[in-house]
Structure 1
Amino acid sequence: MKDHKPVVPGWFTTDDEDFRLLGTRCTACGTVFFPRQDTFCKNPACAGTEFEELKLSGRGTVWSYTNAGYRPPAPYVSDPDVEWVPFTIVAVQLAEEGMIVLGQAEPGITVDDLTVGAEVEIVPGVLYETEDQVFTTWKFKPTGASA
Structure 2
Amino acid sequence: MVTGWFTGDGDDFRLLGTRCSVCSSVFFPREEGHCRNPGCVGGDLEEVPLSRRGHIWSYTDSRYRPPSPYVTDPELPWEPYALIAVELEAERIVVLGQAVPGVTVADLTVGMQVEAVPGVLYEDVETVWTTWQWRPTGVEA
TM-score band, normalised by the shorter chain? over 0.9
Q: 1:57 is matched with which residue? A: 51
**What TM-score, normalized by structure 1, do the two folds share?**
0.90
After superposition, residues 1-147 of structure 1 pair within 5 angstroms as: 6=1, 8-144=2-138
* Matched-pair contact (CA < 8 Å) for 1:39–1:49: no
Which runs of no fewer than 5 residues in structure 2 stay unpaired? none
**What TM-score, normalized by structure 2, do the two folds share?**
0.94
Q: Aligned partner of 1:76: which letter?
A: Y
How far does the alpha carbon of each residue in 1:51-98 deviate from its partner, in whole angstroms, 9 at most, with x for none? 111100000000111111111112211110011111110000001111
* Matched-pair contact (CA < 8 Å) for 2:113–2:138: no
Number of residue pairs the alignment of both structures matches: 139
Which runs of no fewer than 5 residues in structure 1 stay unpaired? 1-5
RMSD: 1.3
How far does the alpha carbon of each residue in 1:3-61 deviate from its partner, in whole angstroms, 9 at most, with x for none? xxx1x100001333310100000111111010111111111222224111110000000
Bigger RCO of structures 1 and 2 (CA < 8 A, at least 6 apart): 1
**Larger relative strand fraction:** 2
